[in-house]
Amino acid sequence: MIMTMPFKATWTPASAWAAVVARDPALDGRFVFAVRTTGVYCRPSCSARRPNRTNVSFFQDGAAARDGGYRACRRCHPDLPVSDPVAAARRLLEGTEARLTLDRLASLVALSAGHLQRRFKARYGMSPRTFQDRRRQDRLRAALRGGMAVSRATYDAGYGSSSRVYERAGSELGMTPGQFARGAKGLAIRYTIVDSPIAHRLLVAVTDRGVCAVLPGTTDAGLEVALAAEFPKADRVRIDRGADAWLTNLVRRVGQEIGGKVGTTGPVSLDLRGTAFQERVWRALLEVPRGITRSYAEIAGAIGKPRSVRAVAGAIAHNRLAVVVPCHRVIRGDGSLAGYRWGLPMKERLLAVERGSPRQR
C-alpha cells in the first residue's frame, strides 16, 4: 500500500522508516536512507528490495551519507532533483505491485491525469497503464522461469487470480502460463524452407498467431537446428510448401516484406516472443522505414531508455525474424556497421538493396 504522510522539516527514525516501508515519493528530498550491508544510500521511494531495519541509517541528504562512507543508489539516483513528477510517477509504479489508476497516480504526483498521460508516454514510450502491464508480465515470466507454481506466480505478479492471466495469456505471454513454464512445451510450430534472394535457403516458421521465426542459412539441416535452438520444447513440424494454405500465404507475404512490397492485406502477422524489453525494441525496429538507418542510441531513445544502448543491442541480437523485423537497419552512431546475427556481408547487401530501391513503406 502506498501512503502519503505529513512530514515536517524535522523527522524521526521511526517516521523516516515508515516512509521507506511505504516507498513514499512525497518524502523524496527530505532525507536519504543508507544500508550498511550494501554501502548504498537511497531516496525513500526507491523500488529496490526493502532492507532489514537493523541495517538502515538515515541522513539529512546525500552529502551527509557520502561523508558516512556510502555511495548513491544507481536505481533511484537520490542526488537528482525531486521536482520531476513524471519520474516520481514511474518510481511509484516500480515500487508497488498494486494496480494504480491513472487518476490515483496523477493525484500522487500533483498533475492532471491527461497531462501525466501525455508526458509519461512522451518520455517512456508507453502509457502508465501499459508500463504497469509490462512490469506485471516481467514478474510473471521471472516467477514461471524460476519454477514457481502457476497459481502462486500469477497471484504474486499482481493478477489476483489465475483466470485473469489465462484470459490474457495470448497477448501477454504468447502462450498459456503452463506452456511458458515448461519452455513452450506443446506449442505447435509449423515451418517450411524455401529458396531466397537474401540467402541460399530461408526458413519461415509460424504459430497460430503469425510468423514466429524467419531464419536465413545455407543448409536445411542447419536451419532446423537453429529453429530447435530457438524453441527447444515446442512441437516443430515441417510442412511442404503448398500443403498448408495459411503457411503458404504467410511465406508469400514474408517474401513481399523482404522485397519491400506490402500487400493489399497489410503487413504480415507476427508472433513476437521475448521479454517485455525485447518486444519494445523489436517493435521500434518495425517503425524504421526501408532505406533508412538508425543508431542503437536512437532506438534506445525511441523506447524511452536512452541509457540502455547495450541492452538494446542485446535485444536486437536476439531478433529471430530476419529482415521482417529489420534489425539490419541499425548501425553504430558513427555510421559504421556493427555486428549482425547473420553476418556483415548480408547486412551490407540488404542495406545496399534498400538504399538503391524506391521506399515503398
- What are 301-318's pLDDT values in tens digits? 999 988 888 889 888 988
What average pLDDT is seen over the chain?
78
Return the C-alpha cell found at 173.
505471454
Residue 176 has pLDDT above 60, yes or no: no
List the CATH code of the domain at 188-258. 3.30.160.70
Q: Report pLDDT for 127.
A: 87
Mean pLDDT of 180-188: 59
HEC string of 41-95?
Answer: EECCCCCCCCCCHHHEEEECCHHHHHHCCCEECCCCCCCCCCCCHHHHHHHHHHC
Lowest mean pLDDT among 158-167, 213-222, 250-259: 158-167
Do 257 and 214 form a contact (C-beta atoms < 8 A)?
no
Rounded Cα–Cα distance for residues 193 and 214 (Å): 10
Do 254 and 214 form a contact (C-beta atoms < 8 A)?
yes
| Per-residue pLDDT band at 90 (split at 50, 70, 90) | confident
Pairing status of strand 56-59 against strand 188-195: unpaired
Q: Which fold has domain 13-72?
A: DNA Methylphosphotriester Repair Domain (3.40.10)
Sign of CA dihedral 19, 160, 173, 177: positive
Q: Report pLDDT for 42.
A: 92
Residue 60, CA distances (Å) to 23, 37, 43, 49, 312 in order: 17, 20, 11, 22, 37
258 SS3 class: helix
Q: Report pLDDT for 327.
A: 92
Rounded Cα–Cα distance for residues 357 and 332 (Å): 23
Q: Which residue has the higher pLDDT, 272 or 183?
A: 272
**DSSP strands (E only) in 287-344:** 294-295, 330-331
Instruction: Please say if 76 is a catalytic residue.
Output: no
DSSP 147: T
Domain ranges for the chain, please list them: 13-72, 130-181, 188-258, 276-355
**DSSP strands (E only) in 130-232:** 188-195, 201-207, 210-217
**DSSP strands (E only) in the chain:** 32-35, 40-42, 56-59, 71-72, 188-195, 201-207, 210-217, 235-238, 294-295, 330-331
- Reported as a single tens digit per residue, the pLDDT across 55-81 is 999 999 899 999 999 998 877 778 776
pTM over 0.75: no
Do 295 and 359 form a contact (C-beta atoms < 8 A)?
no
Nearest residue to 322 via CA among 253, 254, 235, 263: 254
Q: Report pLDDT for 4.
A: 38
- Reported as a single tens digit per residue, the pLDDT across 10-58 is 678 888 999 898 888 778 888 999 999 999 999 888 878 889 999 999 9
Q: Report pLDDT for 7.
A: 37
DSSP 264: T
Do 324 and 270 form a contact (C-beta atoms < 8 A)?
yes
Q: Report pLDDT for 6.
A: 38
| Per-residue pLDDT band at 109 (split at 50, 70, 90) | confident
- Reported as a single tens digit per residue, the pLDDT across 118-156 is 888 888 777 888 888 777 777 666 655 555 554 555 555
Residue 349 has pLDDT above 70, yes or no: yes
Active-site position among 73, 76, 212, 327? 327
Do 234 and 205 form a contact (C-beta atoms < 8 A)?
no
Return the C-alpha cell found at 266.
497489410
Return the C-alpha cell found at 116.
501525466
Percent of the chain at pLDDT > 70 equals: 75
- Reported as a single tens digit per residue, the pLDDT across 244-287 is 676 777 777 777 666 656 544 456 788 888 777 888 899 999 99
Instruction: Please say if 73 is a catalytic residue.
Output: no
| Per-residue pLDDT band at 163 (split at 50, 70, 90) | very low
Active-site position among 42, 73, 76, 212? 42
Domain 276-355 is of which CATH architecture? Orthogonal Bundle (1.10)
